[in-house]
Structure 1
Amino acid sequence: MNGSFGWHASSEAGSEPLRRPTLTINGFELLDTATAPAGSSELLDGVKKAWGFVPNLNRVLAVSPAALEAYATLWGIAEKTSFTPQERNIAYLAIIYENECTYCMAGHTNLSKMAKVADADIYAIREGRELDDPKLEALRSFAAKLTRNRGFVGEADVTAFKAAGYTNQSALDLLVLAATKLISNYTNHLADTPTDDFMKGVEWVAPGHLKADA
Protein backbone atom coordinates (compact mmCIF):
# COMPACT_ATOMS: atom_id res chain seq x y z
CA MET A 1 0.00 0.00 0.00
CA ASN A 2 2.18 2.76 -1.27
CA GLY A 3 -0.28 5.50 -2.24
CA SER A 4 1.18 8.98 -2.02
CA PHE A 5 0.35 11.57 0.61
CA GLY A 6 -0.47 15.26 0.64
CA TRP A 7 -1.82 17.35 -2.19
CA HIS A 8 -1.16 17.95 -5.84
CA ALA A 9 -1.26 21.59 -6.96
CA SER A 10 -1.99 22.64 -10.51
CA SER A 11 -2.77 26.00 -12.05
CA GLU A 12 -3.28 27.77 -15.31
CA ALA A 13 -1.53 31.00 -16.20
CA GLY A 14 -2.81 33.84 -14.05
CA SER A 15 -4.95 31.60 -11.83
CA GLU A 16 -4.61 30.52 -8.22
CA PRO A 17 -3.18 27.02 -7.65
CA LEU A 18 -5.90 24.39 -7.48
CA ARG A 19 -5.41 21.84 -4.73
CA ARG A 20 -6.62 18.38 -5.59
CA PRO A 21 -6.68 15.47 -3.13
CA THR A 22 -4.17 12.69 -3.63
CA LEU A 23 -5.65 9.37 -4.72
CA THR A 24 -4.97 5.94 -3.31
CA ILE A 25 -3.75 3.24 -5.66
CA ASN A 26 -7.37 2.20 -6.25
CA GLY A 27 -8.47 5.75 -7.00
CA PHE A 28 -10.07 6.81 -3.70
CA GLU A 29 -9.49 10.37 -2.51
CA LEU A 30 -7.60 11.17 0.68
CA LEU A 31 -9.61 14.12 1.95
CA ASP A 32 -9.06 16.59 4.77
CA THR A 33 -11.27 19.15 6.51
CA ALA A 34 -10.82 21.60 3.63
CA THR A 35 -11.87 19.21 0.87
CA ALA A 36 -14.24 16.78 2.57
CA PRO A 37 -18.02 17.05 2.13
CA ALA A 38 -19.80 19.15 4.73
CA GLY A 39 -21.03 16.07 6.55
CA SER A 40 -17.48 14.76 6.98
CA SER A 41 -15.36 17.84 7.69
CA GLU A 42 -16.62 18.29 11.25
CA LEU A 43 -16.00 14.61 12.02
CA LEU A 44 -12.47 14.85 10.61
CA ASP A 45 -11.85 17.90 12.77
CA GLY A 46 -12.88 15.87 15.82
CA VAL A 47 -10.54 13.05 14.82
CA LYS A 48 -7.66 15.49 14.44
CA LYS A 49 -8.31 17.00 17.87
CA ALA A 50 -8.43 13.54 19.46
CA TRP A 51 -5.47 11.98 17.65
CA GLY A 52 -3.34 14.95 16.68
CA PHE A 53 -3.67 14.00 13.00
CA VAL A 54 -6.21 12.42 10.66
CA PRO A 55 -5.41 8.78 9.78
CA ASN A 56 -5.62 7.89 6.12
CA LEU A 57 -8.47 5.48 6.87
CA ASN A 58 -10.62 8.39 8.05
CA ARG A 59 -9.53 10.48 5.06
CA VAL A 60 -10.80 7.76 2.73
CA LEU A 61 -14.03 7.25 4.69
CA ALA A 62 -14.66 11.01 4.48
CA VAL A 63 -15.68 10.54 0.84
CA SER A 64 -18.92 9.15 2.30
CA PRO A 65 -20.23 11.13 5.29
CA ALA A 66 -22.47 8.18 6.15
CA ALA A 67 -19.55 5.72 6.19
CA LEU A 68 -17.37 8.05 8.27
CA GLU A 69 -20.16 8.67 10.77
CA ALA A 70 -20.96 4.97 11.00
CA TYR A 71 -17.34 4.12 11.75
CA ALA A 72 -16.92 6.93 14.28
CA THR A 73 -20.16 5.96 16.01
CA LEU A 74 -19.31 2.26 16.21
CA TRP A 75 -15.80 3.06 17.43
CA GLY A 76 -17.29 5.01 20.33
CA ILE A 77 -19.87 2.33 21.11
CA ALA A 78 -17.16 -0.36 21.08
CA GLU A 79 -15.47 1.39 23.99
CA LYS A 80 -18.68 0.92 26.01
CA THR A 81 -18.71 -2.86 25.65
CA SER A 82 -18.07 -5.21 28.56
CA PHE A 83 -14.43 -5.81 27.61
CA THR A 84 -11.41 -4.27 29.27
CA PRO A 85 -9.19 -2.16 26.98
CA GLN A 86 -6.76 -5.08 26.78
CA GLU A 87 -9.50 -7.56 25.88
CA ARG A 88 -11.00 -5.20 23.33
CA ASN A 89 -7.68 -4.80 21.55
CA ILE A 90 -6.97 -8.52 21.58
CA ALA A 91 -10.37 -9.13 20.00
CA TYR A 92 -9.72 -6.40 17.43
CA LEU A 93 -6.38 -7.97 16.49
CA ALA A 94 -8.00 -11.40 16.11
CA ILE A 95 -10.73 -9.97 13.87
CA ILE A 96 -8.21 -8.01 11.81
CA TYR A 97 -6.08 -11.14 11.38
CA GLU A 98 -9.04 -13.04 9.93
CA ASN A 99 -9.95 -10.13 7.64
CA GLU A 100 -6.29 -9.83 6.57
CA CYS A 101 -6.19 -6.05 6.85
CA THR A 102 -2.56 -4.95 6.72
CA TYR A 103 -3.39 -1.30 7.48
CA CYS A 104 -5.43 -2.05 10.61
CA MET A 105 -3.02 -4.69 11.88
CA ALA A 106 -0.21 -2.15 11.84
CA GLY A 107 -2.35 0.52 13.45
CA HIS A 108 -3.83 -1.74 16.12
CA THR A 109 -0.41 -3.15 16.97
CA ASN A 110 0.50 0.30 18.26
CA LEU A 111 -2.94 0.92 19.77
CA SER A 112 -2.66 -2.41 21.61
CA LYS A 113 0.73 -1.41 23.00
CA MET A 114 -0.85 1.83 24.23
CA ALA A 115 -3.59 -0.25 25.90
CA LYS A 116 -0.86 -2.24 27.69
CA VAL A 117 -1.46 -5.50 25.84
CA ALA A 118 1.65 -7.65 26.27
CA ASP A 119 3.96 -7.68 23.26
CA ALA A 120 3.99 -11.48 23.40
CA ASP A 121 0.21 -11.53 22.93
CA ILE A 122 0.25 -8.92 20.17
CA TYR A 123 2.83 -10.77 18.11
CA ALA A 124 1.27 -14.17 18.76
CA ILE A 125 -1.95 -12.92 17.18
CA ARG A 126 -0.07 -11.28 14.31
CA GLU A 127 1.56 -14.66 13.65
CA GLY A 128 -1.62 -16.72 14.02
CA ARG A 129 -0.51 -18.40 17.26
CA GLU A 130 -2.43 -19.18 20.44
CA LEU A 131 -2.06 -17.05 23.57
CA ASP A 132 -0.65 -18.41 26.82
CA ASP A 133 -3.40 -16.95 29.02
CA PRO A 134 -6.41 -19.33 28.84
CA LYS A 135 -9.08 -16.62 29.12
CA LEU A 136 -7.48 -14.34 26.55
CA GLU A 137 -6.94 -17.29 24.23
CA ALA A 138 -10.64 -18.17 24.52
CA LEU A 139 -11.45 -14.58 23.52
CA ARG A 140 -9.00 -14.60 20.62
CA SER A 141 -10.20 -17.95 19.36
CA PHE A 142 -13.91 -17.11 19.60
CA ALA A 143 -13.48 -13.70 17.95
CA ALA A 144 -11.52 -15.34 15.14
CA LYS A 145 -14.14 -18.05 14.59
CA LEU A 146 -17.00 -15.55 14.60
CA THR A 147 -15.24 -13.53 11.94
CA ARG A 148 -14.00 -16.43 9.83
CA ASN A 149 -17.37 -18.22 9.86
CA ARG A 150 -19.54 -15.09 9.52
CA GLY A 151 -21.16 -15.66 12.91
CA PHE A 152 -21.72 -19.40 12.49
CA VAL A 153 -20.16 -21.06 15.53
CA GLY A 154 -21.01 -24.34 17.19
CA GLU A 155 -22.42 -25.08 20.62
CA ALA A 156 -19.00 -26.32 21.74
CA ASP A 157 -17.44 -23.00 20.75
CA VAL A 158 -19.98 -21.01 22.76
CA THR A 159 -19.62 -23.35 25.73
CA ALA A 160 -15.83 -23.01 25.72
CA PHE A 161 -16.11 -19.22 25.47
CA LYS A 162 -18.43 -19.09 28.49
CA ALA A 163 -16.33 -21.58 30.45
CA ALA A 164 -13.43 -19.13 30.18
CA GLY A 165 -15.46 -16.50 32.03
CA TYR A 166 -17.36 -14.75 29.25
CA THR A 167 -21.13 -14.42 28.78
CA ASN A 168 -23.82 -14.03 26.15
CA GLN A 169 -23.30 -10.28 26.49
CA SER A 170 -19.62 -10.78 25.69
CA ALA A 171 -20.51 -12.72 22.55
CA LEU A 172 -22.85 -9.98 21.35
CA ASP A 173 -20.31 -7.30 22.27
CA LEU A 174 -17.86 -9.08 19.97
CA LEU A 175 -20.28 -8.41 17.13
CA VAL A 176 -19.98 -4.69 17.83
CA LEU A 177 -16.20 -4.97 17.46
CA ALA A 178 -16.57 -7.11 14.34
CA ALA A 179 -18.95 -4.56 12.79
CA THR A 180 -16.52 -1.75 13.57
CA LYS A 181 -13.65 -3.59 11.92
CA LEU A 182 -15.79 -4.69 8.97
CA ILE A 183 -16.10 -1.04 7.96
CA SER A 184 -12.41 -0.26 8.41
CA ASN A 185 -10.98 -3.54 7.09
CA TYR A 186 -13.20 -3.61 4.02
CA THR A 187 -12.58 0.08 3.34
CA ASN A 188 -8.84 -0.54 3.37
CA HIS A 189 -9.22 -3.52 1.04
CA LEU A 190 -11.41 -1.50 -1.32
CA ALA A 191 -9.28 1.64 -1.38
CA ASP A 192 -5.84 0.12 -0.73
CA THR A 193 -5.36 2.74 1.98
CA PRO A 194 -1.73 3.84 2.41
CA THR A 195 -0.29 3.31 5.88
CA ASP A 196 0.37 6.24 8.19
CA ASP A 197 3.75 7.36 9.50
CA PHE A 198 3.02 6.12 13.03
CA MET A 199 2.75 2.57 11.66
CA LYS A 200 6.37 2.43 10.52
CA GLY A 201 8.21 -0.50 12.04
CA VAL A 202 5.07 -2.58 12.69
CA GLU A 203 3.97 -3.31 9.13
CA TRP A 204 2.35 -6.70 8.60
CA VAL A 205 2.04 -9.17 5.75
CA ALA A 206 -1.27 -11.03 5.84
CA PRO A 207 -1.08 -14.85 5.73
CA GLY A 208 -3.25 -14.95 2.62
CA HIS A 209 -0.75 -12.71 0.86
CA LEU A 210 2.03 -15.06 1.88
CA LYS A 211 0.15 -17.99 0.36
CA ALA A 212 -0.54 -16.04 -2.82
CA ASP A 213 3.16 -15.30 -3.22
CA ALA A 214 4.24 -18.88 -2.57
Structure 2
Amino acid sequence: MSRLPLIQPEAANGQAAELLTAVQKALGVTPNMTKAMANSPAVLKAYLEFSGALGAGVLSAAVRERIALLVAQQNECDYCLSAHTYIGTKLAGLSPEEAEAARGGRADEPKVEAVLAFAATVLRTRGDIEDTDVKEARQAGLSDEEIAEVVGHVALNVFTNYFNKSAGTEIDWPVVRH
Protein backbone atom coordinates (compact mmCIF):
# COMPACT_ATOMS: atom_id res chain seq x y z
CA MET A 1 0.00 0.00 0.00
CA SER A 2 1.28 3.44 -0.90
CA ARG A 3 2.51 5.64 1.94
CA LEU A 4 1.01 8.65 0.18
CA PRO A 5 -2.61 8.59 -0.93
CA LEU A 6 -3.18 8.11 -4.63
CA ILE A 7 -5.14 11.16 -5.74
CA GLN A 8 -7.76 9.93 -8.17
CA PRO A 9 -8.27 12.29 -11.11
CA GLU A 10 -12.02 12.54 -10.51
CA ALA A 11 -11.43 13.59 -6.88
CA ALA A 12 -8.60 16.06 -7.57
CA ASN A 13 -8.98 19.81 -7.31
CA GLY A 14 -7.31 22.82 -8.86
CA GLN A 15 -3.87 22.38 -10.36
CA ALA A 16 -3.68 18.71 -9.35
CA ALA A 17 -6.86 18.04 -11.38
CA GLU A 18 -5.49 19.92 -14.39
CA LEU A 19 -2.18 18.06 -14.29
CA LEU A 20 -3.76 14.63 -13.84
CA THR A 21 -6.12 15.35 -16.74
CA ALA A 22 -3.11 16.25 -18.88
CA VAL A 23 -1.38 12.99 -17.90
CA GLN A 24 -4.47 10.95 -18.78
CA LYS A 25 -4.80 12.74 -22.11
CA ALA A 26 -1.12 12.29 -23.00
CA LEU A 27 -0.71 8.66 -21.89
CA GLY A 28 -4.22 7.25 -22.02
CA VAL A 29 -3.73 6.19 -18.38
CA THR A 30 -2.94 7.90 -15.10
CA PRO A 31 -0.08 5.96 -13.49
CA ASN A 32 0.00 5.58 -9.72
CA MET A 33 3.25 7.55 -9.61
CA THR A 34 1.50 10.66 -10.94
CA LYS A 35 -1.44 10.09 -8.60
CA ALA A 36 0.99 10.00 -5.66
CA MET A 37 2.87 13.05 -6.94
CA ALA A 38 -0.45 14.92 -7.15
CA ASN A 39 -0.35 15.24 -3.35
CA SER A 40 1.91 18.18 -4.23
CA PRO A 41 0.95 19.77 -7.54
CA ALA A 42 4.40 21.42 -7.49
CA VAL A 43 6.08 17.99 -7.49
CA LEU A 44 3.86 16.64 -10.27
CA LYS A 45 4.34 19.78 -12.35
CA ALA A 46 8.12 19.67 -11.85
CA TYR A 47 8.23 16.02 -12.93
CA LEU A 48 6.06 16.60 -16.00
CA GLU A 49 7.99 19.67 -17.12
CA PHE A 50 11.42 18.06 -16.53
CA SER A 51 10.36 14.87 -18.29
CA GLY A 52 8.76 16.78 -21.15
CA ALA A 53 11.78 19.00 -21.69
CA LEU A 54 14.18 16.06 -21.77
CA GLY A 55 11.80 14.10 -24.00
CA ALA A 56 12.23 16.83 -26.61
CA GLY A 57 16.02 16.45 -26.51
CA VAL A 58 18.37 14.61 -28.84
CA LEU A 59 18.39 11.23 -27.09
CA SER A 60 15.95 8.75 -28.63
CA ALA A 61 13.13 7.22 -26.62
CA ALA A 62 14.94 3.86 -26.69
CA VAL A 63 18.11 5.38 -25.24
CA ARG A 64 16.14 7.31 -22.61
CA GLU A 65 14.39 4.11 -21.54
CA ARG A 66 17.70 2.28 -21.31
CA ILE A 67 19.06 4.99 -19.01
CA ALA A 68 15.89 4.75 -16.90
CA LEU A 69 16.29 0.97 -16.63
CA LEU A 70 19.94 1.25 -15.61
CA VAL A 71 19.18 3.86 -12.94
CA ALA A 72 16.15 1.96 -11.61
CA GLN A 73 18.18 -1.24 -11.34
CA GLN A 74 21.02 0.50 -9.51
CA ASN A 75 18.57 2.25 -7.16
CA GLU A 76 16.52 -0.94 -6.67
CA CYS A 77 13.29 0.80 -7.64
CA ASP A 78 10.84 -1.88 -8.69
CA TYR A 79 8.15 0.66 -9.61
CA CYS A 80 10.43 2.31 -12.16
CA LEU A 81 11.88 -1.00 -13.37
CA SER A 82 8.34 -2.18 -14.03
CA ALA A 83 7.24 1.05 -15.72
CA HIS A 84 10.32 1.42 -17.91
CA THR A 85 10.45 -2.24 -18.89
CA TYR A 86 6.87 -1.87 -20.13
CA ILE A 87 7.43 1.50 -21.80
CA GLY A 88 10.77 0.44 -23.26
CA THR A 89 9.49 -2.81 -24.76
CA LYS A 90 5.95 -1.79 -25.71
CA LEU A 91 6.43 1.84 -26.79
CA ALA A 92 10.13 2.59 -27.38
CA GLY A 93 10.99 -0.45 -29.47
CA LEU A 94 13.37 -2.29 -27.15
CA SER A 95 13.39 -6.07 -27.22
CA PRO A 96 13.07 -7.81 -23.84
CA GLU A 97 16.74 -8.76 -24.20
CA GLU A 98 17.78 -5.14 -24.81
CA ALA A 99 15.80 -4.00 -21.78
CA GLU A 100 17.43 -6.67 -19.62
CA ALA A 101 20.90 -5.78 -20.92
CA ALA A 102 20.32 -2.08 -20.20
CA ARG A 103 19.70 -2.89 -16.54
CA GLY A 104 23.31 -4.08 -16.40
CA GLY A 105 24.67 -1.20 -18.49
CA ARG A 106 25.06 -3.25 -21.66
CA ALA A 107 23.98 -2.65 -25.25
CA ASP A 108 24.92 -4.13 -28.62
CA GLU A 109 25.50 -0.69 -30.16
CA PRO A 110 28.84 0.83 -29.05
CA LYS A 111 27.48 4.38 -28.76
CA VAL A 112 24.50 3.27 -26.66
CA GLU A 113 26.82 1.25 -24.44
CA ALA A 114 28.94 4.42 -24.05
CA VAL A 115 25.81 6.35 -23.03
CA LEU A 116 25.03 3.71 -20.41
CA ALA A 117 28.64 3.63 -19.17
CA PHE A 118 28.61 7.40 -18.76
CA ALA A 119 25.21 7.30 -17.05
CA ALA A 120 26.47 4.61 -14.66
CA THR A 121 29.50 6.75 -13.84
CA VAL A 122 27.34 9.81 -13.17
CA LEU A 123 25.11 7.70 -10.93
CA ARG A 124 27.94 5.90 -9.11
CA THR A 125 29.88 9.11 -8.45
CA ARG A 126 26.74 11.13 -7.68
CA GLY A 127 27.80 13.55 -10.40
CA ASP A 128 31.39 13.87 -9.22
CA ILE A 129 32.79 12.66 -12.53
CA GLU A 130 36.36 13.13 -13.77
CA ASP A 131 37.61 14.91 -16.88
CA THR A 132 38.58 11.51 -18.24
CA ASP A 133 34.94 10.36 -18.01
CA VAL A 134 33.83 13.17 -20.31
CA LYS A 135 36.81 12.58 -22.62
CA GLU A 136 35.89 8.87 -22.91
CA ALA A 137 32.26 9.73 -23.64
CA ARG A 138 33.35 12.14 -26.39
CA GLN A 139 35.76 9.57 -27.84
CA ALA A 140 32.86 7.11 -27.99
CA GLY A 141 30.94 9.58 -30.13
CA LEU A 142 28.76 11.43 -27.62
CA SER A 143 28.24 15.11 -28.31
CA ASP A 144 28.28 17.66 -25.54
CA GLU A 145 24.50 17.94 -25.94
CA GLU A 146 24.14 14.19 -25.44
CA ILE A 147 26.47 14.24 -22.44
CA ALA A 148 24.41 17.00 -20.83
CA GLU A 149 21.17 15.12 -21.49
CA VAL A 150 22.54 11.90 -20.02
CA VAL A 151 23.20 13.79 -16.78
CA GLY A 152 19.67 15.22 -16.96
CA HIS A 153 18.12 11.78 -17.47
CA VAL A 154 20.09 10.29 -14.60
CA ALA A 155 18.85 13.11 -12.36
CA LEU A 156 15.24 12.75 -13.52
CA ASN A 157 15.29 9.01 -12.91
CA VAL A 158 16.96 9.33 -9.52
CA PHE A 159 14.12 11.70 -8.63
CA THR A 160 11.40 9.28 -9.72
CA ASN A 161 13.19 6.32 -8.09
CA TYR A 162 13.51 8.14 -4.79
CA PHE A 163 9.96 9.43 -4.98
CA ASN A 164 8.45 6.00 -5.65
CA LYS A 165 10.55 4.24 -3.06
CA SER A 166 9.74 6.92 -0.45
CA ALA A 167 6.05 6.95 -1.31
CA GLY A 168 5.84 3.16 -1.53
CA THR A 169 3.96 3.65 -4.79
CA GLU A 170 1.89 0.61 -5.70
CA ILE A 171 3.14 -0.90 -8.96
CA ASP A 172 0.51 -0.61 -11.66
CA TRP A 173 2.62 -2.08 -14.48
CA PRO A 174 3.56 -5.70 -15.15
CA VAL A 175 5.88 -6.26 -12.19
CA VAL A 176 9.65 -6.45 -12.66
CA ARG A 177 11.90 -6.85 -9.61
CA HIS A 178 15.49 -5.71 -9.18
TM-score of the two chains, using structure 1 as the length reference: 0.77
What residue ranges of structure 1 are gaps of 5+ in the alignment? 4-23, 207-214
CA RMSD of aligned residues (A): 1.6
Count of residues paired in the alignment: 177
Corresponding residue for residue 108 of structure 1: 84
Take 1:96 and 1:162, find their aligned partners in 2: how far apart are those partners?
25
Task: Report sequence identity in percent.
Answer: 31
Match of 2:136 in 1: 160
- Give the equivalent residue in structure 1 for 2:176: 204
1:99-149 Cα deviation digits (max 9, x unpaired): 2211011111111111112332211123x2532321111111111111121
Aligned to 1:120: 97
Deviation readout 1:13-39 (Å, 9 max, x if unpaired): xxxxxxxxxxx1x3x100012333412
Question: Which structure would you say has the larger Rg?
Answer: 1
Quote the Cα distance in structure 2 between the aligned partners of 1:176 and 1:157: 16
- Please point out which of 153, 173, 177 is paired with 2:153: 177
Match of 1:140 among 116, 127, 133: 116
Q: Could you give the per-residue CA deviations for residues 165-209 of structure 1, whole angstroms, max 9, x where no partner exists?
A: 10222111122212322331111011110111xx22xx2322xxx
Letter paired with 2:100: Y
Kindly indicate whether the alpha-carbon contact (under 8 Å) linking 2:115 and 2:150 is maintained by their aligned counterparts in 1.
no
Counterparts in 2 of 1:129 and 1:178: CA distance versus 1, 3 Å: closer
Verify the 8 A CA contact 1:96 1:104 in the aligned structure 2: yes
The 8 Å contact of residues 97 and 105 in structure 1, kept in 2 or not, is answered as yes
- CA shift in 2, pair 1:83/1:129, >3 Å: closer
Q: Deviations over 1:23-80 (max 9, x none)?
A: x1x3x10001233341211010111112222100000000001000000101110111
The structure showing larger relative contact order (alpha-carbon pairs under 8 Å, at least 6 residues apart) is: 2
What residue is the counterpart of 1:46 in the other structure? 22
Name the CA distance, whole Å, in 2 between partners of 1:138 and 1:73: 27
CA distance in 1, matches of 2:15, 2:53: 20
- 1:60-71 pair list within 5 angstroms: 60-71=36-47
